[in-house]
Structure 1
Amino acid sequence: MRFFRLLKIAYVIYRYGLDEFLLGHERVRGLSVLVNRTLFWRKISTPRAVRLRLALEALGPIFVKFGQVLSTRRDLMPPDIADELAFLQDRVPPFAGDVAVTVIETALGRPIGELYAEFDRTPVASASIAQVHRARLNDGRAVAVKVLRPGILPVIESDLALMGVMAGLVERLFRDGKRLRPREVVAEFDKYLHDEVDLMVEAGNASQLRRNFLGSDKLIVPEVFYDWCAREVVTMEWMDGIPIGRIAQLQEAGIDLKKLGRYGVEIFFTQVFRDGFFHADMHPGNIFVAPDNRYIALDFGIVGTLSDSDKQYLAINFLAFFNRDYHRVAAAHIESGWVPRDTRVEELEAAVRTVCEPIFNKPISQISFGQVLMRLFETSRRFNVEIQPQLVLLQKTLLNIEGLGRQLDPDLDLWQTAKPFLERWMNEQIGWRGLWRNIKHEAPLWTAMLPTLPRKINDLLAHDPAGLLQQGYHGLVWEQRKRNYILGVIAALLAGILTAVVLR
Structure 2
Amino acid sequence: MSRSLRLLTIFRVVGRYRLDLLLDHSNLPPLPRTAFKLAPWHLHPVPDMPRGERLRRALEELGPVFVKFGQMLSTRRDLLPEDIADELARLQDAVPPFPGEQAVAIIEKSLGQPVADLFASFDPEPMASASVAQVHAATLASGESVVVKVLRPDIEPVIRQDLALMFILARLVERFLPFGRRLRPVEVVKDYELVVLDELDLGREAANASQLRRNFEDSPLVYVPRVYWDYSAHNVFTMERIKGIPVTDVKTLKELDVDLKLLAERGVEIFFTQVLRDSFFHADMHPGNIFVDASNPADPTYIAVDCAIIGSLSDSDQYYLARNLLAIFHRDYREVAQLHVECGWVPADTRVQDFEAAMRAVCEPVFERPISEISFGQLLVYLFRTASRFDMEVQPSLVLLQKTLLNIEGLGRQLYPDLNLWDTAQPFLEQWMAERYSPQSMLQKLQRQAPSWLEQLPRVPDLVLHQLEHGTTERNPARGSRPSRPRTLSGRSAAGLAALAAAVVVARPQALDWLAEVPLASWALVAAGLALLWPRRS
Q: Distance in 2 between matches of 1:115 and 1:19?
A: 53
2:124 matches 1:117:
no
Task: Tell me: CA distance 1:49–1:364, structure 2 relative to 1, closer, same or farther (3 Å).
Answer: farther
Of residues 157, 160, 168, the one that matches 1:157 is: 160
Q: Distance in 1 between matches of 2:98 and 2:40?
A: 43
Q: Distance in 2 between matches of 1:37 and 1:167?
A: 22
Q: Distance in 2 between matches of 1:457 and 1:75?
A: 48
**3-state DSSP class of the match of 1:259?**
helix
Deviations 1:456-486 (A, max 9, x none): 699x79xxx9xx99x98xx9xxxxxx99xxx
> Which amino acid is 2:416 matched to?
D
> Which amino acid is 2:230 matched to?
D
Q: Return the offset for 1:353.
A: 2.1
Q: Is contact 1:317–1:332 with CA below 8 Å preserved after alignment?
A: yes
Q: Is contact 1:116–1:137 with CA below 8 Å preserved after alignment?
A: yes
The within-5 A match list for 1:312-391 is: 312-360=319-367, 366-369=373-376, 371-373=378-380, 375-391=382-398
Q: Is contact 2:171–2:185 with CA below 8 Å preserved after alignment?
A: yes
| Farther off after superposition, 234-243 or 354-363 | 354-363
Task: Tell me: CA distance 1:110–1:245, structure 2 relative to 1, closer, same or farther (3 Å).
Answer: same
2:400 matches 1:393:
yes
Task: Please tell me whether Structure 1 or Structure 2 has the larger radius of gyration of its CA atoms.
Answer: 1
Corresponding residue of 1:494: none
Q: Distance in 2 between matches of 1:139 and 1:425?
A: 43
2:134 matches 1:131:
yes
Q: Is contact 1:135–1:143 with CA below 8 Å preserved after alignment?
A: yes
2:199 matches 1:199:
no
Deviations 1:180-238 (A, max 9, x none): 53322222211121111110000000011011111111110111010000111000111
Task: Tell me: CA distance 1:385–1:110, structure 2 relative to 1, closer, same or farther (3 Å).
Answer: same
Corresponding residue of 1:6: 7
Of residues 221, 225, 228, the one that matches 1:225 is: 228
Corresponding residue of 2:526: none
Q: Distance in 2 between matches of 1:400 and 1:155?
A: 29
Q: Distance in 2 between matches of 1:392 and 1:340?
A: 18
| Farther off after superposition, 249-258 or 363-372 | 363-372
Q: Distance in 2 between matches of 1:228 and 1:301?
A: 18
Q: Is contact 1:180–1:386 with CA below 8 Å preserved after alignment?
A: no
| Farther off after superposition, 61-70 or 42-51 | 42-51
Task: Tell me: CA distance 1:202–1:66, structure 2 relative to 1, closer, same or farther (3 Å).
Answer: same
Q: Distance in 2 between matches of 1:233 and 1:94?
A: 16
Runs of at least 5 residues in structure 2 that lack an aligned partner in the other structure: 474-480, 483-538
Of residues 31, 46, 51, the one that matches 1:48 is: 51
Q: Is contact 2:138–2:145 with CA below 8 Å preserved after alignment?
A: yes
> Which amino acid is 2:405 matched to?
L
2:174 matches 1:171:
yes
Instruction: State the TM-score, normalized to the length of structure 2.
Output: 0.80
Of residues 281, 305, 320, the one that matches 2:312 is: 305
Deviations 1:229-284 (A, max 9, x none): 01110001111110100001112223211000010000000000111110000011
Q: Distance in 1 between matches of 2:197 and 2:384?
A: 29
Q: Return the offset for 1:364.
A: 7.2
Task: Tell me: CA distance 1:52–1:433, structure 2 relative to 1, closer, same or farther (3 Å).
Answer: same
Instruction: State the TM-score, normalized to the length of structure 1.
Output: 0.85
RMSD: 2.9
**3-state DSSP class of the match of 1:316?**
helix
Of residues 75, 78, 82, the one that matches 1:79 is: 82
Corresponding residue of 1:491: none
Of residues 145, 148, 158, the one that matches 1:145 is: 148
2:282 matches 1:275:
no
Instruction: Count how many residue pairs are aligned between Structure 1 and Structure 2.
Output: 465
Q: Return the offset for 1:363.
A: 6.4
Q: Distance in 1 between matches of 2:325 and 2:317?
A: 12
Q: Return the offset for 1:38.
A: 7.2
Corresponding residue of 1:500: none
Q: Which has the higher contact order (CA 8 A, sep 6+)?
A: 1
Task: Tell me: CA distance 1:328–1:43, structure 2 relative to 1, closer, same or farther (3 Å).
Answer: closer
Q: Return the offset for 1:146.
A: 0.6
Of residues 211, 216, 232, the one that matches 1:213 is: 216
Q: Distance in 1 between matches of 2:385 and 2:38?
A: 32
Q: Return the offset for 1:335.
A: 1.8
Q: Return the offset for 1:429.
A: 2.0
Q: Distance in 1 between matches of 2:311 and 2:398?
A: 9
Task: Tell me: CA distance 1:199–1:285, structure 2 relative to 1, closer, same or farther (3 Å).
Answer: same
Corresponding residue of 1:249: 252
Q: Return the offset for 1:446.
A: 5.2
**3-state DSSP class of the match of 2:433?**
helix
Q: Is contact 1:97–1:122 with CA below 8 Å preserved after alignment?
A: yes
Q: Return the offset for 1:367.
A: 2.8
Q: Is contact 2:372–2:420 with CA below 8 Å preserved after alignment?
A: no
Q: Is contact 1:244–1:288 with CA below 8 Å preserved after alignment?
A: yes
2:88 matches 1:70:
no
Q: Return the offset for 1:18.
A: 1.6
Corresponding residue of 2:193: 190
Q: Distance in 2 between matches of 1:371 and 1:273?
A: 20
2:93 matches 1:90:
yes
Task: Tell me: CA distance 1:15–1:141, structure 2 relative to 1, closer, same or farther (3 Å).
Answer: same
Q: Distance in 1 between matches of 2:392 and 2:81?
A: 18
Q: Distance in 1 between matches of 2:446 and 2:182?
A: 40
> Which amino acid is 1:250 matched to?
L
Q: Is contact 1:185–1:389 with CA below 8 Å preserved after alignment?
A: no
> Which amino acid is 2:401 matched to?
L
Q: Is contact 2:377–2:405 with CA below 8 Å preserved after alignment?
A: no
Runs of at least 5 residues in structure 1 that lack an aligned partner in the other structure: 476-481, 484-504
Q: Is contact 2:119–2:138 with CA below 8 Å preserved after alignment?
A: yes
Q: Return the offset for 1:23.
A: 5.8
Task: Tell me: CA distance 1:254–1:285, structure 2 relative to 1, closer, same or farther (3 Å).
Answer: same
Task: Tell me: CA distance 1:252–1:431, structure 2 relative to 1, closer, same or farther (3 Å).
Answer: same
Q: Is contact 1:213–1:220 with CA below 8 Å preserved after alignment?
A: yes
